[in-house]
Amino acid sequence: MRRESPIKRRYPSGRVAWVARYTGRDGEHHIAKPTWNRGKGTFDRKADAQKAIEEAYGLSDRPDTLGAYFATWTERHPRSERTNATNEHRIGRLVDVEVEGVALKDWPMGELRRRHTLILVDHMLKTEGRATTGAVGILRALSAMAEDAISDEVCDLNPFKGVRIRANDPRAQKRRRPIRVFSFEEMHRFSKAAGRYEALVRTFTDTGMRLGEVLPLRPEDFDGDTLQVRRTAHEGRVLEGTKTDHGEEGAGRVVPVPATLAWMLEAQINLNGPKCELIFTTPSGRMWRERNFYRDVWRRAQEASGLDLRPHECRHSYVTHLRCAGVNDADLADIVGHRVETMLSRYTHPLGQSFKDVRDAVN
């Protein structure tokens, strides 16, 4: 880019002003209107107009391009370690995508508009073949970054906010796998098929806990009646706190343990011995990594039981059956670590057991 200079404008009164006009990466003329000039594109001093142009184009020290701002975003506005890693992964997948002939990372954030977001959505669904849920997650990360950029006066609007992607968008080539609800009898049969790992698998079916919450459980997290969920694990790394609706880390939660599972956990802890730091370990005494867990535990239980059950379906089944049994919504939401509205919208599924009640009510 050639270094552009402001345009001199002389009014009939004789007053001289400088207009911060420049040619953007899209080839169109733009007027730089920084917030420090109260959103105006005219300046009394040429130096101020030049500064506005360079900030708008990303030539100043301020990280005004999306890529430059993204490079330091999680340091400027730190969230939890888990959330930072998720946001960096999501946005990092798109920074090299071309938008109107320019890589997203090279766009000044102040010039990005809703139409550019729609181009990104089209690329994610049609070119990359993402599921709608994956595309929505990326937009949420970009929107969070844009909100922080507004606070830093890098841009004036959030082009990613409010852009919705329908679950049945015809451009989506990859469809979300349907969630199935299994009975506790089926899930217990599945757990028994896991053999020596029955207690491990039954922790999923009888507590509704997530995979990353079960793997790092320690003996001190179990008091005989409840499990204290304090941390999560991902690929061998343990992070303090648990996932919440907002993507942040919570201090933890308490999950009730049924009698049969409590007996199994006590037996597992006694079998491990006092020096073992974890409740569930690999044969070599280490914490399970997700890949090895699926290979050595879950898939073998699937083959032995003949049930194509997935870990997160245990969570959906747990919530659905307990709510059907009359457990208080607020208590159940607290146990699984969600707001009530999230639990009802995502984790409650029909069981087809109300037909008689419907008929009786109508009659």
Residues 197 and 289 occupy one common structural domain: yes
Residues 188 and 285 occupy one common structural domain: yes
Residue 215 domain-assigned? yes
**So what's the pLDDT on residue 200?**
97
CA distances from 235 to 37, 231, 291 (A): 48, 14, 8
Residues 324 and 194 occupy one common structural domain: yes
Instruction: Report the CATH number at residue 262.
Output: 1.10.443.10
| Domain ranges, residue 293 | 184-346
Q: Which two tokens stand for residue 257?
A: 């343990």
Residues 49 and 188 occupy one common structural domain: no
Number of C-alpha atoms within 13 angstroms, CB side, residue 173? 9
Residues 80 and 45 occupy one common structural domain: no
Residue 105 domain-assigned? yes
Residues 189 and 328 occupy one common structural domain: yes
Residue 102 domain-assigned? yes
Residues 193 and 338 occupy one common structural domain: yes
**So what's the pLDDT on residue 32?**
87
Residues 218 and 309 occupy one common structural domain: yes
Q: Which two tokens stand for residue 216?
A: 């790092």
**So what's the pLDDT on residue 248?**
42
Residues 206 and 86 occupy one common structural domain: no
Residues 48 and 83 occupy one common structural domain: no
pLDDT tens for the chain, 363 residues long, are 445 789 999 999 989 999 999 887 667 888 988 878 888 999 999 989 988 887 776 545 556 789 989 998 998 898 877 788 889 999 999 999 999 999 999 898 888 999 999 999 999 999 999 989 899 999 999 999 999 999 888 888 999 999 999 988 999 887 667 789 999 999 999 999 999 999 999 999 999 999 999 999 999 999 999 999 999 888 788 887 776 543 444 557 999 999 999 999 999 999 999 999 999 999 999 999 999 999 999 999 999 999 999 999 999 999 999 999 999 999 999 999 988 888 888 787 877 777 877 778 887
Give how many domains the chain has, as a whole number. 3
**So what's the pLDDT on residue 1?**
43
Residues 312 and 240 occupy one common structural domain: yes
Domain end residue (candidates: 39, 57, 75): 57
Q: pTM score > 0.85 for this model?
A: no
Residue 159 domain-assigned? no
Residue 357 domain-assigned? no
Residue 178 domain-assigned? no
**So what's the pLDDT on residue 355?**
80
Residues 205 and 277 occupy one common structural domain: yes
**So what's the pLDDT on residue 245?**
46
Residue 161 domain-assigned? no
Q: CA 67 to CA 142: how far, in whole Å?
A: 12
Residue 99 domain-assigned? yes
Domain end residue (candidates: 132, 151, 170): 151
